[in-house]
Amino acid sequence: MSSPTATLLISCPDQRGLVAKFANFIYSNGGNIIHADQHTDASAGLFLTRIEWELAGFNLPRDIIAPAFGAIAQPLQANWQLHFSDRVPRIAIWVSRQDHCLFDLIWRQRSKELNAEIPLIISNHPQLQSIADQFSIDYHYLPITPDTKPAQEAKQLDLLRQYNIDLVVLAKYMQVLSSKFIAQFPTLINIHHSFLPAFPGANPYHRAFDRGVKIIGATAHYVTQDLDEGPIIEQDVVRVSHRDQVEDLIRQGKDLERVVLARAVRLHLQNRVLVYGNRTVVFA
Amino acid sequence: MSSPTATLLISCPDQRGLVAKFANFIYSNGGNIIHADQHTDASAGLFLTRIEWELAGFNLPRDIIAPAFGAIAQPLQANWQLHFSDRVPRIAIWVSRQDHCLFDLIWRQRSKELNAEIPLIISNHPQLQSIADQFSIDYHYLPITPDTKPAQEAKQLDLLRQYNIDLVVLAKYMQVLSSKFIAQFPTLINIHHSFLPAFPGANPYHRAFDRGVKIIGATAHYVTQDLDEGPIIEQDVVRVSHRDQVEDLIRQGKDLERVVLARAVRLHLQNRVLVYGNRTVVFA
Amino acid sequence: MSSPTATLLISCPDQRGLVAKFANFIYSNGGNIIHADQHTDASAGLFLTRIEWELAGFNLPRDIIAPAFGAIAQPLQANWQLHFSDRVPRIAIWVSRQDHCLFDLIWRQRSKELNAEIPLIISNHPQLQSIADQFSIDYHYLPITPDTKPAQEAKQLDLLRQYNIDLVVLAKYMQVLSSKFIAQFPTLINIHHSFLPAFPGANPYHRAFDRGVKIIGATAHYVTQDLDEGPIIEQDVVRVSHRDQVEDLIRQGKDLERVVLARAVRLHLQNRVLVYGNRTVVFA
Amino acid sequence: MSSPTATLLISCPDQRGLVAKFANFIYSNGGNIIHADQHTDASAGLFLTRIEWELAGFNLPRDIIAPAFGAIAQPLQANWQLHFSDRVPRIAIWVSRQDHCLFDLIWRQRSKELNAEIPLIISNHPQLQSIADQFSIDYHYLPITPDTKPAQEAKQLDLLRQYNIDLVVLAKYMQVLSSKFIAQFPTLINIHHSFLPAFPGANPYHRAFDRGVKIIGATAHYVTQDLDEGPIIEQDVVRVSHRDQVEDLIRQGKDLERVVLARAVRLHLQNRVLVYGNRTVVFA
């Protein structure tokens, strides 16, 4: 985390020489690569890579890196993103009534596990206002009914613009977002309290109990138009037994949800997640 | 495994004094309880218990235990089973083309991990005959087509009777059994190569890959009329990554399938699994 | 958790009829057993059991239960404890500079996961005072030097008495307690940041990194005279790789420490842990 | 796995341009990289990488690749190995009396999970001869006593040469090899039946039971002069409880040992393991 770095996330049709081309771009400009990883999806014919290098000693000025790399990427039909580590992303956390993920994310941000700012909390319930106050984060209570939803989503979008938000984290926000909303703000991470694709939708713990599973899970994924169908970033599980009632599954699930969501958010903030199709490559 | 034991598996409507009543039955007849465990499902209003005691020094002759306990169980509306540890169950293993679970079960039986006999292997393919020969187990090749299925299932039932089989283990048998068959021989354990209820049915690893899951699993369950819907005995999982292609999931899945199936069969053979509704209590 | 219950934790030399004797004591006094579990350690010749029953409808007044059961236990040479669920235990949390376990325990207590009161925090550092204030918990800063240790331990014991503390949780308290202290207050749970018995003592994560382990762990145990040698209540692990530097092990270890310590404290508070020799039976 | 590939495993002092230099070597000679991964150990100032490319279409003849790359590696003070995927390594499996790892490795080799030949089994006991016969593998029974050990190790070395062995897998071989032996044949992988560094040496399961651990493990590592101190390739664990007696730990441990050893051997055979100091980088 010491000196600032630049990170390129690239995906393009697979072909010979890509590793060399990208490495040469950094090297020929005097850059020192501190992390490079790549993956080839043969079935998709796709090459995906992450390259991070130190800006100290790099010959290209920051504002020239994008156009300079663009000239290399264009003939390769590459999709790419460029990120600078000293540009701190801004997160809006959305919650309903449960506080465990909210508390956890704030604690991790305060303890520097998450390199981000958290200026905004949005909720469809008033209960968690006190936590926001406790950490002096703005809390906007926007209750949702079928009738008010469109208007409230418009307000939510205004808030995201107003607070200059880069990432929305749905930390147990128990409302479905409209396709219209997602189309306008597509960078959302959601925590679903089941081992997807098992038990999508409502009440996964109750359904896990009814099914008599011996293991429960949690899944962090990007949000897409299709509920609980977005690209999976991280999952984890815990073993349960016949002694565990629904409330026990919920209790143990909270620990999973906290950790799985935090890992996913951290990976995203470090620009280690590359989405293609409905899959993710996680350059851990 | 030393001196023979008797085991009672009991489920009945919950009420006061059940633990005392059952313990007194053993104690008053001079039995020494070596394992006793119980579970109360409050929502179902059900009491479930497993009691194992040494036959040495027990005052009731074996053939009197059942009627004697029946007199206690009847007024309690209890369902119960009585098992003797020196009565070795007989297993039929059903396979198709994959040998990993078959090999594993035979190895565990030979190394005394499974207290059972394996006199019979049934397959809808000829390939694994050689393994059967290698361990001198009878191998019956019964190919299945939609037309021949009813006739072949009749033959399969004959074989189960003829070999006096107590338990059928579907060790990667890639055919669906008819409801008619299951009705006539209901004691079947199947290994499904996914973390149920995710990916029931065909090609779970391909679908897990397409979904981009970060963890895969295997599930051992009793077979019911509803495909992959039966009571779950055991599950386990392994973490995968974007680097794992379908063949890697299949390879790692094999290790899961072997272990999960073996655990489930062992628990069943030790009379540690009690089914109620679509759930299991595992008295581990 | 609804109506109050009584719980007996019993260990005694194994002999016939124990299950019946104990069950009859509850039943003959009109008690309804809601949890009963037992374990026999053949090598130690020891029978250990936990019995929990509803006080509603139990014929013995509370103050008579202990003497009445004592009359049964005495001839059996049984060691036993009696607990009432509506008697809320009082916890003192001891910390140094790290806040993750402290935060987590307070959050769980506030969210009713832990049935306890937390009136007291003791630290050898001043840093975490603000968290104590935030949740209005008394915070006592007692710095330790080799010279001041005896005097400070005397103060600590006074505080435990003064606050009527039942359990001390060492939540990353980086000081070793003297045998003298432990002899006077023996009910302490510690979280050690390694998979004991690997890496006892100082800097386990640095040593885990140097050893190149592929998995790290955390261990919650009762404190005894021998550092990190006490009976283990709970352990858990997480997989790491060559990419994880010491700071990554520390970060991931924090998540382990929080969960493992919380599970152990919860099991203790529910009177589910029975210690014998240097081992625990966990009646989960 | 279709067309043959070449793999370079390289470690050298970290410096700018390494990724580019190595990638250019492949690219400028018309090679298509199918896997490239690297790791920088900042504290050790070391850069480590694995590069695999298709030999089809590569302009350098096989016998020229090594000298050509050597010219690049020499000024970088790089240590490196070159491997060809169609050169099938030859394994000698060493066992004592337990057959589970032997059976498992043979099964995996037969089912193509392990790209290797297994022409030789060496044992200090005669019991497993029958398994060797069953799979027509030469079995050499070389009993060891303190007196005969030097002579027998000489015979063992002769056999390794005679059978042209690349890798020795100690699959529960319960004898310590002399430093002299290891100096002459250093490529050995051992499975230790504990979660190292916990319980090195003899009877780890007994000691794990005595310590009352809640999780047991297994560790696959390269063999060095210091018993159980060699670089760790892979570890895994399984949860146990107070109900598990020593024989239960041994039984469950066998499943761990099989899988952990097999994973380590597979990673080694795929040239994915790079040792430096007492650590491994596993390019999974």
What is the C-alpha separation between C255 and C263, in angstroms, rounded? 12
| For residue C23, pLDDT beyond 80 | yes
What is the C-alpha separation between C184 and C170, in angstroms, rounded? 16
- Interface partners of D (3+ CB pairs, < 8 Å)? A, B, C
Mean pLDDT of C159-171: 98
**Chain B residues touching C34 at Cβ < 8 A:** 40
| Mean pLDDT of each 10-residue bin along chain A, 284 residues long | 88 93 94 92 93 95 97 97 97 97 97 97 97 95 96 98 98 96 97 94 94 97 92 97 95 97 98 95 94
- Judged by CB atoms closer than 8 Å, whether chains meet at B211 and A42 is answered as no
From first CA to last CA, the distance across chain C in angstroms is 15
Mean pLDDT of C53-80: 96
Q: Which of A17, A30, A239 sits opposite D27 (nearest CB)?
A: A17
Numbered residues of chain B with Cβ closer than 8 Å to any chain A Cβ? 39, 41-43, 195-199, 210-215, 217, 231-237, 241-243, 245, 278-282, 284
Catalytically annotated residue among B228, B236, B244, B248: B228
- State which H helix or E strand residue D206 sits in: helix D204-211
Numbered residues of chain B with Cβ closer than 8 Å to any chain D Cβ? 99-100, 103, 107, 111, 113, 134, 241, 243, 251, 255, 259, 262, 284
State which residue of chain D sits closest to A27, comparing Cα positions: D17
Residue B226: the pLDDT is: 86
Residue A103 amino acid letter: F
Numbered residues of chain A with Cβ closer than 8 Å to any chain D Cβ? 16-17, 19-20, 23-24, 26-28, 30-38, 40, 239
Q: Which of A103, A111, A243 sits opposite C284 (nearest CB)?
A: A243
Numbered residues of chain C with Cβ closer than 8 Å to any chain A Cβ? 99-100, 103, 107, 111, 113, 134, 241, 243, 251, 255, 259, 262, 284
Numbered residues of chain B with Cβ closer than 8 Å to any chain C Cβ? 16-20, 23-24, 26-28, 30-38, 40, 239
From first CA to last CA, the distance across chain B in angstroms is 16
In sequence order, which residues have a C-beta less than 8 Å from that of residue A45 and are 6 or more positions away? A13, A14
Residue C227: the pLDDT is: 83
Task: Give me the total of CB pairs closer than 8 Å, taking one residue from chain A and one from chain B.
Answer: 82
Residue D1: the pLDDT is: 47
Residue C233: the pLDDT is: 98
CB D276 within 8 A of CB D48: yes
**Chain B residues touching A195 at Cβ < 8 A:** 195, 198, 215
| For residue B1, pLDDT beyond 70 | no
- Tens digit of each residue's pLDDT (9 = 90 or more) over D52-67: 999 999 999 999 999 9
Under the banding of pLDDT at 50, 70 and 90, the label for residue D2 is low
Mean pLDDT of B67-79: 97
**Chain B residues touching C32 at Cβ < 8 A:** 16
**Chain B residues touching D134 at Cβ < 8 A:** 134
State which residue of chain B sits closest to D36, comparing Cα positions: B243
**Chain D residues touching A26 at Cβ < 8 A:** 19-20
Q: Which of B234, B241, B282 sits opposite A282 (nearest CB)?
A: B241
- Judged by CB atoms closer than 8 Å, whether chains meet at A20 and D36 is answered as no
Distances, alpha carbon D58 to alpha carbons A17, D54, D118, in Å: 12, 7, 31
**Chain B residues touching A231 at Cβ < 8 A:** 212
| Strand partners of residue D174 | none
Numbered residues of chain A with Cβ closer than 8 Å to any chain C Cβ? 99-100, 103, 107, 111, 113, 134, 241, 243, 251, 255, 259, 262, 284
| For residue B227, pLDDT beyond 90 | no
Nearest to A84 by CA among A141, A165, A4, A186: A4
From first CA to last CA, the distance across chain D in angstroms is 15
Find tokens 């050169």 and name the residue.
Answer: D87
Mean pLDDT of D177-194: 96
Q: Which of B42, B235, B243 sits opposite A213 (nearest CB)?
A: B235
Mean pLDDT of D84-107: 97
State which residue of chain A sits closest to D238, comparing Cα positions: A239
Of residues A247 and D43, which shows the higher confidence score?
A247
Nearest to C193 by CA among C210, C205, C207: C205
For residue D198, the SS3 value is coil
Q: Which of B20, B38, B239 sits opposite C27 (nearest CB)?
A: B20
Q: Is the dihedral of CA D165, D37, D258, C207 positive or negative?
A: positive
For residue D224, the SS3 value is coil
Q: Is the dihedral of CA A28, A31, A32, A33 positive or negative?
A: negative
Find tokens 């009993």 and name the residue.
Answer: D143
What is the C-alpha separation between C12 and C46, in angstroms, rounded? 6
State which residue of chain C sits closest to D230, comparing Cα positions: C211
- Judged by CB atoms closer than 8 Å, whether chains meet at A196 and B199 is answered as no
What is the C-alpha separation between D214 and D212, in angstroms, rounded? 7
Q: Which residues of D2-39 are buried (b: 16+ CB within 10 A; e: fewer)?
A: eeebbbbbbbbebebbbbbbbbbbbbebebbbebbbbb
Mean pLDDT of C198-221: 95
Phi, psi of D263 (to 5 degrees): -65, -45
State which residue of chain C sits closest to D281, comparing Cα positions: C242
Mean residue pLDDT of chain B comes to: 95
Residue C29: the pLDDT is: 96
Mean pLDDT of B187-192: 98
CA C185 to chain centre: 13
Residue A1: the pLDDT is: 47
CA C90 to chain centre: 12
Is residue D228 among the annotated active site residues? yes
- Judged by CB atoms closer than 8 Å, whether chains meet at C242 and D39 is answered as yes
Mutate to test the interface with C, among D228, D242, D274 (most CBs of C within 10 A): D242
Mean residue pLDDT of chain C comes to: 95
Catalytically annotated residue among A41, A228, A236, A248: A228
Give the residue ranges of DSSP H helices in chain A.
18-28, 62-73, 100-110, 129-134, 149-162, 179-184, 204-211, 246-269
Mutate to test the interface with C, among A107, A256, A269 (most CBs of C within 10 A): A107
What is the C-alpha separation between C92 and C111, in angstroms, rounded? 18
Residue B89: the pLDDT is: 98
- Judged by CB atoms closer than 8 Å, whether chains meet at D23 and A19 is answered as yes
Residue B2 amino acid letter: S
CB C218 within 8 A of CB C194: yes
Task: Give me the total of CB pairs closer than 8 Å, taking one residue from chain C and one from chain D.
Answer: 81
Residue B2: the pLDDT is: 67
Two tokens, residue C168 = 């001390």
Shortest distance, CA A252 to any CA of chain D (angstroms): 17
State which residue of chain B sits closest to C25, comparing Cα positions: B20
Residue D258 amino acid letter: R
Phi, psi of B9 (to 5 degrees): -110, 120
- Tens digit of each residue's pLDDT (9 = 90 or more) over C270-283: 999 999 989 999 99
Mean pLDDT of D215-234: 95
Phi, psi of C31 (to 5 degrees): -85, 150
Mutate to test the interface with A, among D16, D25, D34 (most CBs of A within 10 A): D16
Two tokens, residue D40 = 């920088």
- Judged by CB atoms closer than 8 Å, whether chains meet at B111 and D134 is answered as no
| For residue B51, pLDDT beyond 90 | yes
What is the C-alpha separation between B192 and B173, in angstroms, rounded? 10
What is the C-alpha separation between B147 and B123, in angstroms, rounded? 17
What is the C-alpha separation between C177 and C181, in angstroms, rounded? 6
Catalytically annotated residue among D147, D226, D228, D255: D228
Q: Which of D195, D236, D241 sits opposite C282 (nearest CB)?
A: D241
